[in-house]
Every structure is written in C-alpha cells, then in structure tokens.
Structure 1
C-alpha cells in the first residue's frame, strides 16, 4: 500500500536479518548470568503473554526501569530483550520487561490497557520511582502511559522519566499500510491511540530518542511527538532503527543516565 515502504525498516538496514538472532542470543546469555536475580514470566493478566520478566539488583534498588519492546504490536516478546537491562542494573536500578498479547488477536487499544495493567502490577511489588522506556511500538506504549486516563494517579505520579525510543506516535499513517490488515486500526482508534493528539503530560520528564540513520518516517514521528509535547529529542548519530537501542546495555550511556537520573 501507499506507505508500506515508508515504515519498512529491514530493507534499509544492512544485515537486518542477523539482528533478531543476535538479540535472542545476548538476551539468553544475560538471563543465565543473572541466575536467581532473574524472575521470568511473572503473571500480571489472564493470558500466557501477559507476563513480565523482572531483573533484581544485587543490593537495594534505586527504583525500577520498565522497558516495553517493539515489533509493530505484532511480533516479539520480552525474552528477546533481556540484555538491554544491563545498563540500568549496573546503575542500581531494577528492570521489568512486560509482554503483551499481539495483533490481530487483540487491538492496539487493548495492548495499551495490558501495559497499563503490567505497570500497575510492577508498581505494586516495588518501591521508589518508576521510569519507562520503550522502542518503536513500545515507544508508543510508554508514551500512552502518560495519558491521565490510562493509569491511576498514584501509579502515574511515581513515573519520573520516560524515554520513547523511535516511537510510532501518530498512528494515522499506518492506515495506509498493508500491516493494518493485522493491526485492524480504524480512524477513530488511530486518533485515540496517538500520543501526538493527547495533551502534554504533567510531572514526568520526557525525552525522545531516535537514530539519525532511521527511515524518514521515524524521524518525522519522533519530531512530531517532541513538538506536540514540547519536549527534547535526541538524534543519535550513525544509528538506525535496530541499533539505536544498544546503548541501554551501558550504564554510562546518555539514555541510561537520563533514565536513572544521573544527568538530571
């Protein structure tokens, strides 16, 4: 369809097919190294995919980073991304990675509700501040958590910082893609689920990340959210849609320092 190419990442990334197996291998090794500090498949909802993985710090935790994975709401699960917890863990922050049911079994609005349920379950078992990060579709989902109607105020008030990474923040263009055969969006849901059309959130600090070498559509999406919410964006040189998330596994990276408040 008209915008299929605009939202296709793989054809424009050299060696794109090698990334998922590399992510999976790194994630598996990371979990094995944590041993009992990795709690895998903690349920928060009724289905098999409504679980989160929780990675505990060695000592007292400074707070909890919740990372929500991408995949256009129709692919992947938390087991592919465990290694991205390394940076926050090294900085003394626990990390939770929720899964969710995928389209077409559910609608995107239902996935938003599931992530809200997961955030509440994670909040109930933790103390201290919560920060959110999400990549691509996960960037959309963490941005949605700042809508005043999505989370109860006591949970939302604990969210101190949010980093949507390469987010899909305006869903209307997806109506003109063949992937919408799977997503099942209509104009009303696309508008209701677009963070660019919601008021600027209060309380939490928001900073948007995107790779300089990403598809123009993703650069436009990040810029649109930054403008709509009047928040900063970081355009990372020489990074594309698949490797812009790599910095999460380094405690000293700019994004981990932002999430953990080290450069506040």
Structure 2
C-alpha cells in the first residue's frame, strides 16, 4: 500500500488501531479484568523499580524452578498510553510452561521522547539480566516480545549495541513482535504524533525496518489477519528486511484476529503463536 496517496483520514484509519477497531475500548477493559484475575492466580512481585521515575517499573511472575528462561513483554499504546497492568494475562501461559515472565513499563510520551523510551527499555532488560538469580531466571536465556508499540520496542532492543554497555552482544536470545509498527515515517502525518512528537530524524533512527537487528536470535513477526492493510504491510516489510539481513525471521498471520484480539491468541497456550513463543525458549 502506498501511504503517500492516502488522505489524512485514510492514513489515520490505517495506522491508528483505536479507529480501525471500533471495539477497542471494550477490548482494553477486558484486558484489565483478565489481567487482575491473572495476577491473583500468579502472585509475583509488582512494581519493582528498574529506574528513577514512577513508571520505570516491572512486574515479575517467577517460574517455579530456578534457572528458568526469562521472557520480557512490552505493552502497546503507541508509546503514549496503557500500562503493563493491562497485559498480565499474557504472562499466565508462559509462567505455566516454565518461564519467568516480566511485564515492562516505561515513561510515556509526551512527557518523554521515543529516544528516551527506547533507552529505558534497554535499561530494564539489563536490570533483569543483572538480577536474574533473584527472579528464578537464567541471565543467559533472555527473550523479549511486545504488542503494537511494544513490538517496536522489543525489536529496537534487539538491535541495541549491548557491547557498548559492557554486556554480551547476544544478550537477547529470541524475540516476538505482535502487530508491531516498524517504519515510523507514516506516524508523522497522524494525530498520534501530537503526543509522540517524532521528527524525521527521530523516526528514521527508531524504525526497525531501516535497522534490522544484527543477530543470530530467531524472530517471529506476527500480525492479525484482519488488521488494516498498512499494519500488515508493516510486519511483512520488517520480516523481509530481517531476511535480507540474514536474520532467522518467521512471519505469521493470525487468522481472524484484529489488532486487539491477537493478544488473546498470544495468551492461548494451544495457539500457534503461543507455541512459537514457547518453542523459542525450548518450553514446547
């Protein structure tokens, strides 16, 4: 799809899931309810600080056994909304399969920039690695995933120069992006940018499609089959950029799913998408 040929309203409908899916608020309310119930079942450690601001926190749902793989999930919300507490239900299948699961929060635009958020996510991942033993986790088995803007952040973390932080370049052993946004230039022409405040340069340096990760870690790039064409193209184009860079990337369209229902598929332990997440960690 050539987004340059779309009107402002047409582009908004393609790139803004809350417009593309009229039931968006109902989905989010259901996420919150499911997540509260999941936290009651899982227990865990809530609002553990990894940084200096109130939103630089994680929720940790430890595996029963020590030395478990560590799976870090990053919520969506176009970097300007939502919270880890609305996605706790995604952790349940992963914990039950044997992974310590970490739900990550970060500061939100417009209070901070996207550059800041990417830095916070990398800081959180480094914190998890440094504290793995206290989380029943193996610091050498870290995996990341995310939904929507969280998928973008997961892939930015995968492309991060970890050696510059004194950490192994292959710190992240696998990643899954679900309904991600990987080329940010179109956002400059949407209402979303009133909060995110992207410039051309910031969009360029934070577009994973332009900077595919130099990694041997396997990737899964998943998207709902019922999403707008532009969102599906985001995943297809990023997947192809990864293949062109020699990355082990697998593309998956989830049948019948829109931008919000796809999270239920991720949380379903018998779904193909959840199976791919578990197989990355050698838990299926």
Q: TM-score, normalised to structure 2's length? A: 0.87
Residue in structure 2 matched with residue 7 of structure 1 by the alignment: 15
The CA deviation at 1:161 is 1.1
Which of 158, 182, 191 matches 1:178? Answer: 191
Tell me, in whole angstroms, the C-alpha distance in 2 between the residues paired with 1:19 and 1:86: 18
Which of 183, 187, 210 matches 1:197? Answer: 210
Map Cα deviations across residues 4-50 of structure 1 (whole Å, 9 max, x no partner): 22212234335332111111111111111223xx1000000110000
**Number of residue pairs matched by the alignment:** 262
Which of 20, 25, 35 matches 1:27? Answer: 35
Which of 46, 61, 83 matches 1:55? Answer: 61
The CA deviation at 1:183 is 0.6
Contact 1:64 1:95 in 2 (8 A): yes
Map Cα deviations across residues 157-202 of structure 1 (whole Å, 9 max, x no partner): 2311101111110000101112211111000000000001114421
Tell me, in whole angstroms, the C-alpha distance in 2 between the residues paired with 1:158 and 1:125: 14
Residue in structure 1 matched with residue 226 of structure 2 by the alignment: 213
Q: CA RMSD in A?
A: 1.8
Residue in structure 2 matched with residue 85 of structure 1 by the alignment: 91
Q: Is 1:121 equivalent to 2:127 in the alignment?
A: yes
Query: Structure 1 pair 235/77, CA: closer, same or farther in 2 (3 Å)?
Result: same
Which of 112, 115, 118 matches 1:109? Answer: 115
Structure 2 unaligned runs (5+)?
1-6, 133-137, 244-248
Task: Provide the secondary structure at the position in 2 that maps to 1:63.
Answer: strand
Residue in structure 1 matched with residue 250 of structure 2 by the alignment: 232
Residue in structure 1 matched with residue 150 of structure 2 by the alignment: 138
Structure 1 unaligned runs (5+)?
none
More helix by share: 2
Q: TM-score, normalised to structure 1's length? A: 0.93
Map Cα deviations across residues 49-107 of structure 1 (whole Å, 9 max, x no partner): 00000001223353111000000000011111101001111110010011000000011
Map Cα deviations across residues 206-253 of structure 1 (whole Å, 9 max, x no partner): 110000000111101001101111122101110000011112323333
Q: Is 1:67 equivalent to 2:73 in the alignment?
A: yes
**Larger mean Cα displacement after TM superposition, 236-245 or 197-206:** 197-206
Which of 244, 258, 262 matches 2:276? Answer: 258
Query: Structure 1 pair 90/263, CA: closer, same or farther in 2 (3 Å)?
Result: closer
Residue in structure 1 matched with residue 246 of structure 2 by the alignment: none
